[in-house]
Structure 1
Amino acid sequence: MDQSQSGTNGIGQRLRELRQKRGLNQQDLASADISVSYVSLIETGKRAPSETVLKALAERVGCTVDYLKTGRDDARVKELELKVAFGDMALRNGSNGEALQSFSEALANAPLLGEAMIHRAKLGQALAFEKLGRLEAAIQLFTTLYEDPATVPGSAEWAQLAVALCRAYRDAGDQMMSVEVGERAMKRLDRLGLDFTDDHIQLGSTLISCYYHRGDLTQAQLLVNRLTQLAEQAGSRVARGSVYWNAAQVANSRGQLAEALALTERALVLMAETDNARHLGILKLNCAVYLLDSDSSDLDRVESLLGDAQESVLEGGTAVEQAKVEIGFTRLALRQGTPDSAINRASRALGLLRGEARTDSAFARVLLAQAQFEKGEEQAAAETLRAVERELLQSPSNRNTAQVWRQAGDVWQANGHVAEAMALYQRALTGAGLPPLQAPARMTVPLS
């Protein structure tokens, strides 16, 4: 085959690949001057198109004439690489929708990009999906990247993807898978016998959080003990702060509020010099929540912590994280005796959640009902608590939902509705793993 025919074949092949990638048929490329049969002849390499025809076809498939001719388009490649860079920057700034659009536009032109740039865009797209709450899409992409043969087990990138996958499953409510992924990754690291890096410590720290959300506090504490020692020996300030952050959650779940506060304060000191404003904001939110849980009288500090947290998550946090801050402000308003402010804050939280994170949404409604009772709006409060019941019945039965059942029961009881409170306490016991007894209980002694 002569050189001109070889070049013609290259044009036809690239034209066909781009057409098919964009979901077009040959009819879509045809016009008054270009027949369907002519398009077919070009794609099969039997006709060499003129410059005018090439320009028209390039416009229809979204590329340049140079790309159709040579397979190279340096200007277009540079433009797409800038889109990926913009996506990275948008993610850091919390503009998650813009980031997703940039990464998606770059990936729509993947044939023009190198493997490394495609990988970077896919990772960015997955992170954007996660931050936008589109967790199923995020999990699918994280899994593809994590299982890619090019991802070397034990590498920093592998550890970061394992963390992301654990986190996405956890936030999607699939606690079994979040723990399974984390445990498999930790065992893989143990078998490899590698020195622990910050990325590995972060993986273990995320697994602590997964255990915590599953309600497996014993495994969480065992891993806390192991990672605390490793982090103190070899971890950076950020790695140590991450361990203390999750250790505080475990301590709080065990009712050790003073320890939870101390660990969170320690994490804040360690992570104060980082540029991750979102993480610092969430830590300050957690600190404020533990102070509220402990009935601290230092409400000025609680308000200051919540204000700092709100500023941080508004810049780079998710809608759920912003809602959690509003829930914190709702609790503060109730402590300050300002039910109108509490109602406004709870309503903002519900608007941010929009049906997502049902447990957080149900808790916001519990606080809303409490504020309505304090204002004397008993009918509205009762309707709100009924909505809490409907929401929790659609949620998985676990420790977190059990806690909200209990909190809703407490609001009923505090306002003289004992029968309603008892019904919700039963729900709480069931959610905590204690189903209603079918016969009078008898004390049994375990076999020693």
Structure 2
Amino acid sequence: MELARRFEDLRVRAGLTKTALAKPRYTVSYVSQIESGRRTPSSEAMRFFAGRLGVSSDFLSTGVPEDLDARLHYQLETCRRELRSGMASEAEARSRAVLADAELHGRDRLGALAQIELARALSARGAMHECVDAYEAAIEGPLSEREQGRAVSGIGTAYRAVGDLTYAAEYIESYLGTRKGEPLDPQVAAELQSILVSIYFERGDVFRSERAARRALAAAESDSSPDSRALALWNASRVLAESRQWDEALEFATRARILMEEADDRRRVAQLHNAYAFICLEADPPHVEEARHHLDRAETLLAELSSPTDLAYVRTERSRLALLEGNPEIALANAEQALLEVGGDELETARCLFLKGRALGELGRGDEARGVLVEAAALFGAKGARQQEASCWRELGELHLSAGDTAAAVDALRQGLEALDPKRSRA
């Protein structure tokens, strides 16, 4: 808002006529010239009028509240607390308000920070495409190295969630490549390497995931942030589980959860309870009761936080638990409920479909099971999740064998082997 309009608005709001504002030092004509934009008041006049209008001379001159930066920083910290408490909608509304204020007053860095919190809020409610847009807008702003690293890791995580594993890895690797030869903030390094672990893991690239896990742990050791250490430990636990080192995997997952409990981030603690249950169910033999305990803990926390997207991940693991216990009806119900709640995470959608297909197969609904498993395989394949696509084809092969269709079984197993070929291109 230009000075002339601000001057008039403040006068009207104060209930003063031009005469009342001008007296005893200035004339009505002088005030009229200011309000019409034909005259700029001197510093002395600005102080006089500001005192009459009940504002600071700086605010009258610029329109920027003196406490603006402190107020916006406080609002951003409130956004972070809301996100930790699962209040994604409130955090989204607040971050949009901060962004609008920052843009109005030319606070570019605060605007970029608001974009980061907006992106996190959008991610929490599953709006991944809008989330990427917000992160990319943030990166264009004047961020510190750590803040820019957070935005890069957010973009990588979002692309992983929508299933574009190849681009997610390339994006993070490209950023790390531009930093070669320069010391990278340990928290940023730990977070980026941890996300690469997760991406490589989804792609079935155990060698790269192990290397990234070692780098993430090394970076996390020199960083005091519980968040980055917990993330590094959790992703390392997944790599250990893939290598069938169950005791070490569970130990790392436990350490990750304890760190997050220290950070008082209930949503992340719930996610780690769910993640711990995943490893329990993967173990040989499965730790069924321990998994159930952690799923109960996760569900209780997430129900308090009103987080349906995160609850979908819990239902996915409950579906797997039910299949292990020979309860396909319960497995099917959980998988179908998870599909309704999962939001924009396409890889999780594919996992739900896979579990739904397995449950249908065990219920003797072979035709439906095959259709759902083909859909899951196609979705995994389109996203580059080779190991999981291969699992779908193996399951299809077994269903075809059970139905006595040997040729179809052989074809399904062949497609499963092709899925594991890292040189195979995606359509």
Fold in common (TM above 0.5): yes
Question: TM-score per shorter chain, which class?
Answer: 0.7 to 0.9
1:441 matched residue in structure 2: none
Q: How far apart in 1 are the matches of 2:259 and 2:77? A: 30
* Distance of aligned partners of 1:389 and 1:319 in 2 relative to their CA distance in 1, 3 Å threshold: farther
Asked if 1:303 corresponds to 2:296, the answer is no
Kindly report which structure 2 residues correspond to 1:104-253, keeping only aligned pairs within 5 A, or say none: 104-109=96-101, 110-112=103-105, 114-148=107-141, 150-152=142-144, 155-193=145-183, 196-232=185-221, 238-253=227-242
Kindly report which structure 2 residues correspond to 1:43-58, keeping only aligned pairs within 5 A, or say none: 45=37
SS of equivalent to 1:433: coil
Q: How far apart in 1 are the matches of 2:422 and 2:167? A: 24
Asked if 1:398 corresponds to 2:391, the answer is no
Q: How far apart in 1 are the matches of 2:35 and 2:391? A: 63
Q: How far apart in 1 are the matches of 2:72 and 2:226? A: 36
1:433 matched residue in structure 2: 421
* Distance of aligned partners of 1:390 and 1:299 in 2 relative to their CA distance in 1, 3 Å threshold: closer
Q: How far apart in 2 are the matches of 1:103 and 1:317? A: 19
* Distance of aligned partners of 1:266 and 1:106 in 2 relative to their CA distance in 1, 3 Å threshold: closer
Tell me how many residue pairs correspond in the alignment.
379
- 1:271-301: CA deviations, max 9, x gaps? 4422122322222222222222224354221
Please tell me the residue identity of whatever aligns with 2:370: L
Structure 2, unaligned runs of 5 or more: 9-33, 40-58
SS of equivalent to 1:191: coil
- 1:344-371: CA deviations, max 9, x gaps? 21221111125x4344333323333433
Instruction: Please say which of residues 83-92 and 328-337 is displaced more in the overlay.
Output: 83-92
SS of equivalent to 1:192: coil
The structure whose RCO (Cα within 8 Å, separation 6+) is larger is 2
Q: How far apart in 2 are the matches of 1:187 and 1:259? A: 31
For the 8 Å contact 1:284–1:309, the answer to whether it is kept is yes
Instruction: Using the TM superposition, give the Cα deviation of residue 136 of structure 1 relative to its aligned residue in structure 2, in angstroms.
Output: 2.5
* Distance of aligned partners of 1:199 and 1:358 in 2 relative to their CA distance in 1, 3 Å threshold: closer
Q: How far apart in 2 are the matches of 1:365 and 1:184? A: 33
For the 8 Å contact 2:237–2:248, the answer to whether it is kept is yes
Kindly report which structure 2 residues correspond to 1:243-392, keeping only aligned pairs within 5 A, or say none: 243-296=232-285, 298-315=287-304, 319-353=308-342, 356-376=344-364, 378=365, 381-392=366-377
Instruction: Using the TM superposition, give the Cα deviation of residue 335 of structure 1 relative to its aligned residue in structure 2, in angstroms.
Output: 2.4
1:445 matched residue in structure 2: none
2:63 matched residue in structure 1: 72
For the 8 Å contact 1:289–1:328, the answer to whether it is kept is yes
TM-score, scaled relative to structure 1: 0.70
For the 8 Å contact 1:278–1:313, the answer to whether it is kept is yes
For the 8 Å contact 2:165–2:203, the answer to whether it is kept is yes
For the 8 Å contact 1:320–1:352, the answer to whether it is kept is yes
Instruction: Using the TM superposition, give the Cα deviation of residue 328 of structure 1 relative to its aligned residue in structure 2, in angstroms.
Output: 0.8
For the 8 Å contact 2:274–2:295, the answer to whether it is kept is yes
2:21 matched residue in structure 1: none
Please tell me the residue identity of whatever aligns with 1:165: I
- 1:134-187: CA deviations, max 9, x gaps? 223222322232243x224xx322332232222222223232332233224434
TM-score, scaled relative to structure 2: 0.73
- 1:374-418: CA deviations, max 9, x gaps? 444x2xx42243033135335334314424423532661574454
Q: How far apart in 2 are the matches of 1:73 and 1:226? A: 45
Q: How far apart in 1 are the matches of 2:225 and 2:151? A: 20
* Distance of aligned partners of 1:204 and 1:120 in 2 relative to their CA distance in 1, 3 Å threshold: same
Kindly report which structure 2 residues correspond to 1:17-56, keeping only aligned pairs within 5 A, or say none: 45=37
1:446 matched residue in structure 2: none
2:50 matched residue in structure 1: none
* Distance of aligned partners of 1:422 and 1:305 in 2 relative to their CA distance in 1, 3 Å threshold: farther
Please tell me the residue identity of whatever aligns with 1:425: L
For the 8 Å contact 2:193–2:215, the answer to whether it is kept is no
Q: How far apart in 2 are the matches of 1:214 and 1:12? A: 59
2:11 matched residue in structure 1: none
For the 8 Å contact 1:106–1:121, the answer to whether it is kept is yes
Structure 1, unaligned runs of 5 or more: 1-7, 16-41, 48-67, 437-448
Q: How far apart in 1 are the matches of 2:7 and 2:204? A: 54
Q: How far apart in 2 are the matches of 1:365 and 1:237? A: 34
* Distance of aligned partners of 1:359 and 1:329 in 2 relative to their CA distance in 1, 3 Å threshold: same
Q: How far apart in 2 are the matches of 1:233 and 1:120? A: 25
- 1:311-363: CA deviations, max 9, x gaps? 33445596553222101111212222333322221221111125x43443333
Please tell me the residue identity of whatever aligns with 2:415: R
* Distance of aligned partners of 1:120 and 1:382 in 2 relative to their CA distance in 1, 3 Å threshold: same
* Distance of aligned partners of 1:341 and 1:294 in 2 relative to their CA distance in 1, 3 Å threshold: same
Q: How far apart in 2 are the matches of 1:79 and 1:144? A: 22
Q: How far apart in 1 are the matches of 2:299 and 2:138? A: 33
